[in-house]
Structure 1
Amino acid sequence: MNNKIFIVLISLFSFINADAQENLTSEVKTISEKKLYVKGNALLIPIGVINAGLEYQLSNKFTAQGDVLISPWKSFAGHEAQIYMGTLEGRYYFKEAFKGWHIGANLSVGTYILQKPTYWNDNVFVDAQVGVPTQYINSQLYQKGFSFLLGVEGGYQFRLADNWNMDIFAGIGNSQDFYKGYVRGTGERYDSAEGFNRSGEWLPYRGGVMISYRLK
């Protein structure tokens, strides 16, 4: 009886050990074959904005992504909209890298010449530095400066075909902005601040549909 129990235990141990070895081999193989995808945001192409980057596999469930966003519009629908931004992002996939749901954190740095949405009207501009109305209206004015953004994102990535993926994602973060305000046409400053104005706000600043192609 004891011999039978011993044989059963040995067989069970062998099975568990073989299964563990198989899982370990599979995981090592997955990690050793680290994937690299180049990707572009198909949602922004129709409006002439470029958002492209690379996503690299760090481990079985973690990836790192670097991307750039370029909006070259000196005027878009009557508003300045030049934005040049670079982003570094770390992602965690709940299933495995490049498959299924993921969450991530990112840091972005950007420079811009744009008209903030709060200036898309013909109200009289009130100089916040002194609290009095000015001779300008908001629609005449635009901003030039740079920003630091820190945020989080979430999304879902799935296979389209051999070497092709689709990545649907959206993110929100905090933007710390440093800018100077100017009058359109004359280039003179419209406020009384010395140096840069500063503002901070929470906003959705990342999102879209990335089409990805595997490079390796």
Structure 2
Amino acid sequence: MNYKLLTGSILALLTIETLTAQEQENQKSLYIKGNALFAPIGILNIGIEKQIKPKYTLQGDIFISPWKSFAGHKLQIYSASIEGRYYFKEAFKHWYIGANIGLSAFNLQKWNYWSGTYVTNEGEFLDSSNLYQKGFSIMLGVTGGYQFQLSDRWNLDVYATIGTSQGFYKGYDSTTGKRYDGTDGVNRSGEIIPYRGGIMISYKLK
């Protein structure tokens, strides 16, 4: 047996395999994106999506709503999330599903406090529109979406996420600055809600 020939063949195969792996690594795409749905009202939602396998990507994004008052209601939200995605065809093309985990800090007025009357534990009646909540939440959910290819470098990503949101907050009366919820601790609430979504315009960096 010609050991030199065998050794040379093995080395050649290893070299080809290494080069192929490096080429595949270099071909993994990276997109930067921004949410066109929220931008017109001054809310920033941007992210980066990185391909890790032919059908798998990893996305990180931030959501910033700086509004101390929006249409007369507090709407300050600062959140970040990480999401793993699986594309049924190939990365960045067409239908996909994903698993998302996020963390947010907020100072806002929940929609069900926009009007009406709130009754405290002591039996005091308060105007709900003066009440707001301040705290943080942990979110875990499932994402579904579709990416349209607009050109070689531009994509349109339409998506929504639904899941559990576990909130930890304190309630305040804006007219007095005092707690309205009659407790010294932190309130906790949990609910199944849609907590992410929009239309992301994506640009391919590589």
1:105 aligned partner, one-letter code: A
**Matching residue of 1:88:** 82
Match of 1:208 in 2: 198
1:93 touches 1:102 (CA, 8 Å); kept in 2?
A: yes
Is residue 181–residue 191 contact of structure 1 (8 Å, CA) maintained in 2? Answer: yes
Name the counterpart of 2:6.
none
1:140 paired residue among 130, 145, 153 = 130
What is the Cα deviation at residue 32 of structure 1? Answer: 4.2
Matched, 1:185 2:175: yes
Q: Does 1:47 align with 2:37?
A: no
Q: In structure 2, what is the equivalent of residue 126 of structure 1?
A: 119
Contact 1:31 1:59 in 2 (8 A): no
Could you list the runs of 5+ residues in structure 1 that have no partner in the other structure? 1-24
RMSD, aligned CA? 1.7
Separation in 1, partners of 2:74, 2:123: 23
Aligned to 2:29: 35
In the alignment, what sits opposite 2:9?
none
Alignment match, 2:3: none
Q: Over residues 109-137 of structure 1, what are the superposed CA-to-partner deviations in whole Å (9 max), with x where a residue is unaligned?
A: 000000001101122x123xx4x532312
Deviations 1:2-39 (A, max 9, x none): xxxxxxxxxxxxxxxxxxxxxxx999855541111000
Match of 2:50 in 1: 56
Code of the aligned partner of 1:203: I
Identity of aligned residues (%): 57
Extract unaligned runs of 5+ from structure 2: 1-18
Report the Cα offset of residue 164 of structure 1: 0.8
Give the counterpart letter for 2:64 in structure 1: I
Which residue number in structure 1 is paired with residue 143 of structure 2? 153
Distance 2:142 2:25 in 1: 25
TM-score normalised to the size of structure 2? Answer: 0.86
Q: Considering only CA atoms, is the larger Rg found in Structure 1 or Structure 2?
A: 1
CA distance in structure 1 between the partners assigned to 2:65 and 2:166 by the alignment: 19
Q: How far does residue 186 in structure 1 lie from its aligned partner after superposition?
A: 2.3
Q: Structure 2: how far apart are the matches of 1:185 and 1:45?
A: 31
Instruction: Return the TM-score normalized by structure 1.
Output: 0.83
Q: Would you say the 8 A contact 1:50–1:69 is kept in 2? A: yes
Q: Shift in Å at residue 187 of structure 1?
A: 1.2
Q: Counterparts of 2:172 and 2:106 in 1: how far apart (Å)?
A: 13
Question: What is the rounded CA distance, in whole Å, between the counterparts of 1:43 and 1:185 in structure 2?
Answer: 33
What SS does the corresponding residue of 1:161 show, helix, strand or coil?
coil
